[in-house]
Copies of this chain bind each other. A is one copy, B any other.
Amino acid sequence: MSDKRDQAETDDIPAGALALDQQLCFAVYSAAHALNRTYKPLLDPYGLTYPQYIALMTLWEEDGRTVKALGAKLGLDSGTLSPLLKRLEATGYIVRARDRHDERQVLITLTDKGHAMKRDAVAIRMEIGRATGCSLEALQALTADLQALAGRLEADQVHDDAA
C-alpha cells in the first residue's frame, strides 16, 4: 500500500490537478489587485480609495441607507464600514446621522460633493473600460460569470453555517 507510488503520486498530482482551481483563485486574486491598481491613480486626485469609491457607487444607486443596508450590499461588516464611512465623512463626501426614530441606526447621506463625484465617475468609467481593452459584450459576460461564481460561493457558505 504505502510503496513508493504514494509518495510519487502526491508529488505529481499537484503539478497537474492542483493547478486547476488554484489558477482560478490566483486569477481572481490577481485581477482584483490589477483592477485596484488601475483605479488608484484615477481616484487619488479625489482623495478616494477603491473601497470608498465602491461605497459611493452604492449610495448613488440609493441614498440615505443605513450602515447595515450598505454592509449587506457590499458584503462588509461594521468593523470595516465604520472607519471607512468616518473617513468618507471627514473628506466631505457623506454625512452620518443617527436615525431619530431608531437611535441604533446611522443613516448615510451623500453631500453635494458626494453627488458631484457621480459626474466625475463617468470619466473614470471610460478610462477603466479602455484599460480593460475588452468589448462591452465580453465585460458583461465576464461580469455575469463572476456574479454567478460569487453567488454560488456565498450560498455554499450559508449552507455550511446551517450544518
Contact = CB atoms under 8 A, between A and B. Distances in A.
Most buried by B among A31, A50, A139: A31
Contacts of A153: 31, 34-35, 37-38, 131-132
A27 to B, nearest CB: 4
A154 B121 contact: no
A10 interface: yes
A149 B18 contact: no
Interface string A140-154: 111101110110111
Interface stretch (A86-94, A96-104, A122-130): A122-130
A45 interface: no
Contacts of A21: 125, 128-129, 132, 139
A65 to B, nearest CB: 16
23 contacts: A10-B122, A11-B118, A14-B121, A14-B122, A18-B60, A20-B125, A20-B129, A24-B132, A24-B139, A29-B32, A29-B50, A30-B146, A31-B146, A34-B153, A34-B154, A37-B154, A38-B153, A130-B156, A132-B153, A134-B152, A142-B142, A142-B145, A142-B149
A122 B17 contact: yes
Given A20-B129, A23-B147, 13 more contacts: A13-B122, A18-B125, A21-B129, A22-B125, A25-B39, A26-B54, A27-B142, A28-B32, A30-B147, A37-B157, A38-B157, A130-B156, A134-B149
